[in-house]
Structure 1
Amino acid sequence: MFLKKLKSFSLTKALTTLLLTFLLIISFSTFTFAKELDSYNEGFKFGKEYKLQILQNLKEVKDKASKNNIDISTLNSDLDKVEKMYTEVLPEKLNWIKGLSESTGIPYRDLLIFNTFDKNLLGLQGECTTFIAHGKALKDGTGSMIMKNRDLGATSLCEVSLEQAATHANNELYQAAYIDIPEAEKTYKFVGDRTAGRWGYAMGINEHQVIVADNDAPSRDTLAFNTGLHDNDLIRLTLERAKTAREGVDIVGKLVEKYGVAWGGIMYEIGDPNELWVVEVTGYRWAAKKYTNAVSARSNQYQIEDDYDLSSKDLITFAEKQGWVQKGLSKINFRKTYGSTTLYPEDNDLSKRQAAEKLYSTEQRYQRAMELMKKSFGNITLETMMKGSRDHYDTYTLPSGKVVNTNQIPFYSLGDKNFANWENNEFIIDFPKDDKVSTNLYIRGLCSHDLGWGRTMSSAVLWARPNVPNELGLMLHSFSPPCGSIFVPFYVGIDKVHPDFQGPAAAALFQQIDTRTFAFYQDYHNIIRAKFDPYEKDMLSKIQNIEGKYMESRSKAVLNSFCYDECQAAVDLAKAVQEDITKAAVDKNDWTPRKVD
């Protein structure tokens, strides 16, 4: 959740305020105008009055992009697709930018790039949310479960892939995103989610029921953009090499110490039928915490403090050399020491902006996730995780204790300007103390529909259990924001994945549903769920029977047939939903011709 600050900055410093207003370069995800305004004229007027400030901010963003080794010209290929979506959803914003371009002389496409890809250019962390639960926290009382919402650029497509076990030659190399490293002699079979066409993975489960996911986090100890292992490479390497969660921790730790992790900080959630760990990584260093009979969550900030169970050898000595902690400590607060703690920079220094970008988005998502997990402790099931993935901050507790019910309506179509609207230009550094303040709530739920940068493009519930054959390690997977999508089962024991899921075809189909219904949640949500909810209820009811059949026969054909059929049914339903959306749109705008006497 973001809040717009109106009074806490010095209002006498008009220039600073204006610079702060444009710190996001009027980000599409946080800024709009009422439809009744003449957007073009407003943009023209604003550009004419504040041209110098706009140019200065554009320069700062270009410089930051250059430091992040980002070639701005490569973004042009995606710009047309995004512009088309904005034309359909928020044409007044494009008109505003056209007016701004006309009065400032800044090319329209340049302004559009900086408004659309501001987070990419500034190198800010992605926004993923993860639930974890172990042992007695689950209804079954044993095992580990991870749910991850993977937030990516709105034009991204994901896929579900199956990697078979393999034996490799001594001189064979693993070709990671940025570097090559020696391949392991043996690699294990796994099924997981990845960005279409990418080598690494975002989450998955292997043949030993090791489950892995991850989240980004701001870090003070950051490697160069293309130095070290990509976070998706580390997930794949862990799935390929780990027989247990504890071994997965060791694999991540050793690889990080030797090669480092690219970009900024990463948090890896690693479980198996018996244990559940989180490894928080920064540069070449790491700290790990074991969770037993517990729940936790991760958004985009470190959570491990001085309660870690394992760490890299130089975790403390490196911090001492940087002057971050005093010498002689036996333990440190990992989060405070290595996390980026600078909030909103009053001097408008973009280099300090990283943590401010995440203050409300990440802290409130973490709090919300923990609230949902704690409420369900002892009763957590697949359904619990699926429901949590679809949370839009359904309820919000005000400082007085009053609970506001948002009825699972995302921020962009809430319509209640007391609690949510588009005019959220700024971040604030403190939580509100009163129910009514000079701010507007920006609902940023766990199920992300962010207009400017991206959305939840895939979700997975990973389940590792001690009392079943490893082949029954299960991943339930969904494309696009899960509130408008469907969870489909994938057992690690299957031999192949349905071709529409193995490639980007299924993802594109569900993305079309999301794009068509974007900003019209109230109009189409019930129509979508009318098809998808019965499927999920039926699918979950079949699982016990299917698993019983497999344990009796040990025939992979049972799993192959079940997963393939469920995938095909999901594709067919998605196409039917498209037809229902079209019919609803026609019916809504139809009328009966007048009778002429």
Structure 2
Amino acid sequence: MKKFSILSIFFILSTVASFACTNFLFTKSTTTDGSTMITYAADAHVIYGELYHWPAADYPEGTMLDVIEWDTGKFLGRIPQVAHTYNVVGNMNEHQLAIGETTYGGRKELYHQDGAIIDYGSLIYITLQRAKSAREAIKTMANLVKEHGYYSSGESFSIADKDEVWIMELIGKGNEEKGAVWVARMIPDGYVSGHANQARITTFPQSGNTVATSDNIDDIFNKEVTTVYSSDVISFAKKMGFYPQNASDKDFSFSDSYAPVDFGGARFCELRVWAMFNKITDGMDQYFEYGKGDIKYDDKGYATNRMPLWVKPNKKVDPKDVMDLMRDHLENTELDMSKDVGAGPFGNPYRWRPMTWEVDGVKYCHERTTSTQQTGFSFVSQSRNWLPDEIGGIIWFGVDDTAFTCYFPMYTSATDVPYAFAEGNGDIMDFTNESAFWVFNQISNFGYTRYSYIHPEVKAKQDETERGFLEDIKTIDKNAKYQYDQGNKAGAVQYLTSYSKRQGNAMVDDWRRFYGYLFAKYMDGNIKTKVPNKKNPKVEQPGYSNEYYKSIIEQTGDKLKMKE
């Protein structure tokens, strides 16, 4: 079996504006309030964190839509516009449909398709403007790439509405054929899933009442159906030599055929999913060696010790829990990045790129954790089926590194977004202190310098602010629902729009002041504390840890030794 190295994928991802992202998926019965939730971190060193908005609109027959590649801004072509599009805020629309993604790349033979118009970013945002439910989204996505070709490499998509959560994995056919092959599976209620730049769907049901294919795509609207796939997903793999011609169809694995997992796919990608699973369920120790990159293969080249696609958690989560799951650095594992020499004297769990390097002919790597410095934006979507769509959908949105950001509640029926997060307010090379992205980057980059002192203060500020928002929305929901029940839907939407804009802008103002507090307190290596009724503050200079001083002595010998 021919394998495409995930390390090669990461080289590609580091040299263009593609993303290396993380998605976690939570079904209704896994959350404390019965909402569905998905997470997404858009991680790239050149992405600017801002909150996209497409207002609902009507179009005359014959209108064409320009398709612009999300990564690069390249014009790809035009497709027919639909008569009506839905309001979209970030990666969630007015009907509580949310979509996230992670790029897994896959077989390099399938990377490019001449004449293709739909890239993965356009696939998300066009679908959000056209679909009301997860099932309708899957049909829309399948039809878009079938009709207009697929421009990008392999992608995993998280798709959630107010009742269901799905994972869909898709890869183009290269220049062999137009379009893409794909598999979509509904996460069983009561289970959680995740994906992080490695395709995860392996074998899947291929017949029975719970299965539909692209040949009968409308069967997806039968609620018994929990697996849907392109009818040629196996035959195309055989044609391309990714799966043996004489092998049984029932043993076919999408991921192992189209995106075989290797060391990089496990260590840099699957390990992030493992870290989340490990925090919410039992028995994940058995998959730790796999997550570290020790993979076992069968005679087809299929990995035999992979993690399951979904697991049953041993506790329910609320939005705050999910936010914090996105802030992982492999703490309390043997790969904890705050514990080795690379963490420096202040336990910094970050490593600057490149992620892999070589010394004396031996290759080494840094860990790639869920929380990472290059995040442009991230979110936790929350879809709540007990509320009208105008009130039920919230996208908890943040910019920059998840460990240093703060999420605020953005209702997805809103007709406008906060200026601090709006498109056009600064960009990746134009600093403005009015932009949330730049405010939070100031905090995080200052925090990296003395992580063990500064991050605990950031964490306390996060907890206070985010828990405050969670309390706020109880009242906001109630007030909006009252207006809605009185027949004033427009008034309810305007109320939620005003709330979201006000809170988003106020939060950035608050955290801008917080940065000033941190900078004044920790500048120049000191820790300063105000003293009431005195001009000068108390100044502490705690220095380094004893372990770090010992490491200095080990490297310098007697060079720094003081003489009597």
Q: Please report the TM-score for the alignment, with normalisation by the length of structure 1.
A: 0.66
Distance 1:122 1:441 in 2: 18
Conservation of the 8 A alpha-carbon contact between 1:527 and 1:577: no
Q: What does 1:234-313 align with in structure 2 at a 5 Å threshold? A: 234-283=123-172, 284-293=180-189, 294-307=191-204, 309-313=227-231
Unaligned regions of 5+ residues in structure 1, if any? 1-22, 25-63, 69-116, 193-203, 344-355, 399-403, 428-437, 450-454, 593-597
1:494 to 397, 414, 421: 414
Conservation of the 8 A alpha-carbon contact between 1:410 and 1:521: no
Q: Determine the structure 2 residue equivalent to 1:167.
A: 58
Quote the offset at 1:118 in angstroms. Answer: 5.5
Q: What does 1:216-231 align with in structure 2 at a 5 Å threshold? A: 216-220=103-107, 221-224=109-112, 227-231=116-120
Closer, same or farther in 2 for the Cα pair 1:374/1:254, shift >3 Å? Answer: farther
Letter in 2 for 1:191: V
Conservation of the 8 A alpha-carbon contact between 2:346 and 2:452: no
Q: What does 1:466-485 align with in structure 2 at a 5 Å threshold? A: 466-472=385-391, 473-485=393-405
Say whether residues 1:157 and 2:48 are aligned partners: yes
Distance 2:341 2:138 in 1: 38
Conservation of the 8 A alpha-carbon contact between 1:409 and 1:522: no
Conservation of the 8 A alpha-carbon contact between 2:355 and 2:367: no
Q: Determine the structure 2 residue equivalent to 1:6.
A: none
Q: What does 1:111-510 align with in structure 2 at a 5 Å threshold? A: 119-120=12-13, 126-140=19-33, 142-153=34-45, 155-177=46-68, 178-192=76-90, 204-220=91-107, 221-224=109-112, 227-283=116-172, 284-293=180-189, 294-307=191-204, 309-327=227-245, 329-331=248-250, 332-341=252-261, 343=262, 357-374=264-281, 376-396=313-333, 398=334, 413=343, 425=356, 442-449=366-373, 455-472=374-391, 473-503=393-423, 504=425, 505-510=435-440
Conservation of the 8 A alpha-carbon contact between 1:160 and 1:497: yes
Deviation string, structure 1 residues 89-108 (Cα, Å, up to 9, x no partner)? xxxxxxxxxxxxxxxxxxxx
SS at match of 2:50: strand
Say whether residues 1:585 and 2:522 are aligned partners: yes
Quote the offset at 1:583 in angstroms. Answer: 0.6
Letter in 2 for 1:317: S
Closer, same or farther in 2 for the Cα pair 1:556/1:147, shift >3 Å? Answer: same
Quote the offset at 1:359 in angstroms. Answer: 3.8
Quote the offset at 1:323 in angstroms. Answer: 2.1
Closer, same or farther in 2 for the Cα pair 1:246/1:581, shift >3 Å? Answer: same
Conservation of the 8 A alpha-carbon contact between 1:143 and 1:275: no
SS at match of 1:482: coil
Distance 1:405 1:425 in 2: 17
SS at match of 1:489: strand
Higher relative contact order structure (alpha carbons within 8 Å, sequence separation ≥ 6): 1
Deviation string, structure 1 residues 351-377 (Cα, Å, up to 9, x no partner)? xxxxx5444111211211222343654
Closer, same or farther in 2 for the Cα pair 1:207/1:318, shift >3 Å? Answer: same
Distance 2:526 2:520 in 1: 10
Conservation of the 8 A alpha-carbon contact between 2:20 and 2:196: yes
Distance 1:225 1:393 in 2: 38
Conservation of the 8 A alpha-carbon contact between 1:412 and 1:519: no
Distance 1:551 1:267 in 2: 35
Closer, same or farther in 2 for the Cα pair 1:123/1:224, shift >3 Å? Answer: farther
Distance 2:448 2:134 in 1: 39
Letter in 2 for 1:290: M
Letter in 2 for 1:448: T
SS at match of 1:277: strand
Closer, same or farther in 2 for the Cα pair 1:295/1:410, shift >3 Å? Answer: farther
Closer, same or farther in 2 for the Cα pair 1:307/1:475, shift >3 Å? Answer: same
Closer, same or farther in 2 for the Cα pair 1:511/1:119, shift >3 Å? Answer: farther
Quote the offset at 1:564 in angstroms. Answer: 2.1
Letter in 1 for 2:93: N
Deviation string, structure 1 residues 393-446 (Cα, Å, up to 9, x no partner)? 1221x5xxxxx776x7899536599x998897559xxxxxxxxxx998844321
Closer, same or farther in 2 for the Cα pair 1:411/1:262, shift >3 Å? Answer: farther
Conservation of the 8 A alpha-carbon contact between 2:356 and 2:366: no
Tell me how many residue pairs correspond in the alignment: 432
Quote the offset at 1:337 in angstroms. Answer: 0.9
Deviation string, structure 1 residues 146-193 (Cα, Å, up to 9, x no partner)? 01122111x43121132211112222222112222111121111110x
Q: What does 1:54-93 align with in structure 2 at a 5 Å threshold? A: none
Distance 2:64 2:407 in 1: 35
How large is the RMSD of aligned CA atoms in angstroms?
3.3
Closer, same or farther in 2 for the Cα pair 1:121/1:149, shift >3 Å? Answer: closer
Higher helix share: 1
Distance 1:470 1:327 in 2: 48
SS at match of 2:482: helix
Distance 1:507 1:410 in 2: 30
Distance 1:280 1:175 in 2: 25
Distance 1:546 1:521 in 2: 36
Q: Determine the structure 2 residue equivalent to 1:112.
A: none
Distance 1:410 1:585 in 2: 24
Letter in 2 for 1:132: L
Distance 2:366 2:43 in 1: 18
More off after superposition, 293-302 vs 259-268:
259-268
Distance 1:191 1:507 in 2: 17
Q: Which runs of 4+ in 1 moved over 6 A?
A: 408-411, 419-424, 438-441
Letter in 2 for 1:224: H
The percent of aligned pairs where both chains have the same amino acid is 23
Unaligned regions of 5+ residues in structure 2, if any? 1-5, 69-75, 173-179, 206-226, 283-312, 426-434, 485-491, 529-535, 537-564
Distance 2:129 2:444 in 1: 33
Letter in 2 for 1:466: N
SS at match of 1:483: coil
Deviation string, structure 1 residues 97-132 (Cα, Å, up to 9, x no partner)? xxxxxxxxxxxxxxxxxxxx9645666963211110
SS at match of 2:237: helix
Letter in 2 for 1:574: W
Closer, same or farther in 2 for the Cα pair 1:410/1:234, shift >3 Å? Answer: farther
Letter in 2 for 1:273: K
Q: Please report the TM-score for the alignment, with normalisation by the length of structure 2.
A: 0.70
SS at match of 1:336: helix
Closer, same or farther in 2 for the Cα pair 1:120/1:425, shift >3 Å? Answer: closer
Letter in 2 for 1:243: K
Quote the offset at 1:467 in angstroms. Answer: 0.6
Letter in 2 for 1:539: F
Q: What does 1:483-562 align with in structure 2 at a 5 Å threshold? A: 483-503=403-423, 504=425, 505-554=435-484, 555-562=492-499
Closer, same or farther in 2 for the Cα pair 1:225/1:361, shift >3 Å? Answer: farther
